[in-house]
Amino acid sequence: MLHNIQPEDHGPLGPEMAKAVSTCVHCGFCLAACPTYQQLGQEVDSPRGRIVLMKEVLEGSMQLDDALPHVDACLGCLACEPACPSGVPYRDLISPFRANSEKQRKRSLMNRFQRLLTQLTLPYPSRFRMAAKTGRLAKVFASVLPGSMRVMLDLLPDQLPPRQSWKERYPAQGKQRARVALLTGCAQSVLDPDINTATIEVLTRCGVEVIVPPKQGCCGALSWHVGNLHQAQHFARQNLSAFPSGLDAIVTNAAGCGSGMDEYPLILKGTKDEAKAVAFSQQVCDVSLFLNRLGDLPEVPDSGTKKRVAYHDACHLANAQGVREEPRALLRMIPGVTVMEIADAHLCCGSAGTYNIDQPAIADDLGKSKIESVLATQPDLIATGNIGCMTQLGNHLSKAGEKVPVKHTMQVLRDAFAG
């Protein structure tokens, strides 16, 4: 697409944004893949429409306020990327655009408070745990609270699992085949810490030494996707220094965290840490991909039970990291498991970081549709690779009165190994 963007006017992220815009040929192949276009039915809420809006703001021919409602409605699910024949790197446009817009945009007092609350709690496990406990108590006052606060309270689980902590090192069982470091995640380690325990158990059983760096922090994805570049850079730098060298991989088990860490080179673009971020991101690998690359995995015992497992593709695993077949292959290793394919698997479940807080109506519609498609497979179990999706699917299952368990792929595999 021809444009008049002056990259140097938009800081270190300007050239990336201009390049993404120039790659788009306006063909429209991405429209059918976009969940918000399907929901809202307007060109301005499609990838192509948003690219044009952002281009015009960057060129100075459109007011930021006119574009923001449609840019804000973007899930950042990246379903448009694999659908695009020209290879438009949409992620290089949407998050930098949001980061640059933050300096100019005006927010209501309530919106500022809501953002502050999520950004000061979600990325910090102890604060998040405390906020979740306090929020549960505040649910009795929900009817007198503003709508956005009620949405946040609704999303809180009724009960948190007991706190878990992890040692700094877990030796491989048997002959050591690899050495990795694990990102334990922030919200995940509060909402379902067993995912990390299961991941460590599976990796060590497969001959992998696992390091859990004690000084690691949030991956920064939550901050990055809502335009808080400063906080995203802080977390990226913290992790650059927390993770040791001499690893075969930096393993993630939350799709959002993995894709966030993949984007460290963009987050730290034009800073003195950029080269370090490039080397770091090259080591980041989702656990399902790592195990598939490792190969020659131990045999899973046959429990004699048959299970239909619906596998839900987390957007930040399938679209952002291109990891689709690997989790399915791990599930198929389990005797008796049939992996069920969900219709319209490319459509986001509506979780998308803090999207279900920021855009509750669209998130709710997407959650309902996803659950209908999942239940159509008549599953005994739902597996996925992202805590945000697990929470969203769990909430919508419970609203629908369904009790199908939702587990992380690592939990399914760990349980199957245990027999």
User: Applying CB under 6 A, which residues contact ligand SF4?
Assistant: 24-30, 33-36, 47-48, 50, 74-80, 84, 86, 88, 90
Of the candidates 307, 364, 362, 363, the one whose C-alpha atom is nearest the C-alpha of residue 333 is 307
* Minimum distance of ligand SF4 from residue 263's CB (angstroms): 14
**How many Å from the N-terminal Cα to the C-terminal Cα in the chain?**
56
Q: Which is nearer to ligand SF4, 29 or 170 (CB)?
A: 29
* Minimum distance of ligand SF4 from residue 156's CB (angstroms): 25
* Minimum distance of ligand SF4 from residue 31's CB (angstroms): 7
Question: Contact 89/23 with Cβ under 8 angstroms?
Answer: yes
Q: Which is nearer to ligand SF4, 53 or 149 (CB)?
A: 53
Name, in order, each residue with C-beta under 8 angstroms of 336's C-beta and a sequence gap of 6 or more: 302, 303, 304, 305, 306, 307
Q: Is 111 helix (H, G, I), strand (E, B) or coil?
A: helix
Q: Which is nearer to ligand SF4, 79 or 285 (CB)?
A: 79
* Minimum distance of ligand SF4 from residue 217's CB (angstroms): 26
Q: Which is nearer to ligand SF4, 261 or 318 (CB)?
A: 318
Chain centroid, CA 329 distance in Å = 21
Determine the Cα–Cα distance for residues 318 and 385; give it in Å rounded to an integer.
10
Token pair belonging to 371: 């659950």
H or E element, residue 187: helix 187-191
Q: Which is nearer to ligand SF4, 78 or 181 (CB)?
A: 78
DSSP 304: S
Question: Residue 210 half-sphere exposure, CB side, CA atoms within 13 Å?
Answer: 25
Angle at 142 between CA 139 and CA 145, to 5 degrees: 135
- The torsion of the CA quartet 311, 314, 320, 323, rounded to 10 degrees, works out to -20
Q: Which is nearer to ligand SF4, 32 or 130 (CB)?
A: 32
* Minimum distance of ligand SF4 from residue 289's CB (angstroms): 22
Q: Which is nearer to ligand SF4, 217 or 353 (CB)?
A: 353
Q: Which is nearer to ligand SF4, 208 or 366 (CB)?
A: 366
Q: Which is nearer to ligand SF4, 1 or 400 (CB)?
A: 1
Q: Which is nearer to ligand SF4, 43 or 102 (CB)?
A: 43
Token pair belonging to 253: 């088990």
Q: Which is nearer to ligand SF4, 90 or 280 (CB)?
A: 90
Strand 169-170, strand 208-211: pairing: antiparallel
CA-CA-CA-CA torsion sign (106, 108, 109, 111): negative
* Minimum distance of ligand SF4 from residue 390's CB (angstroms): 20
* Minimum distance of ligand SF4 from residue 214's CB (angstroms): 35
Token pair belonging to 144: 């007198």
* Minimum distance of ligand SF4 from residue 35's CB (angstroms): 6
* Minimum distance of ligand SF4 from residue 71's CB (angstroms): 9
Residue pointed to by tokens 């992998």: 208
H or E element, residue 311: strand 307-311
CB atoms within 10 A of CB 141: 11
- The torsion of the CA quartet 53, 55, 60, 64, rounded to 10 degrees, works out to 40
In DSSP notation, 272-285 reads TTHHHHHHHHHHEE
Name, in order, each residue with C-beta under 8 angstroms of 172's C-beta and a sequence gap of 6 or more: 178, 204, 207, 208, 209
* Minimum distance of ligand SF4 from residue 37's CB (angstroms): 6
* Minimum distance of ligand SF4 from residue 85's CB (angstroms): 6
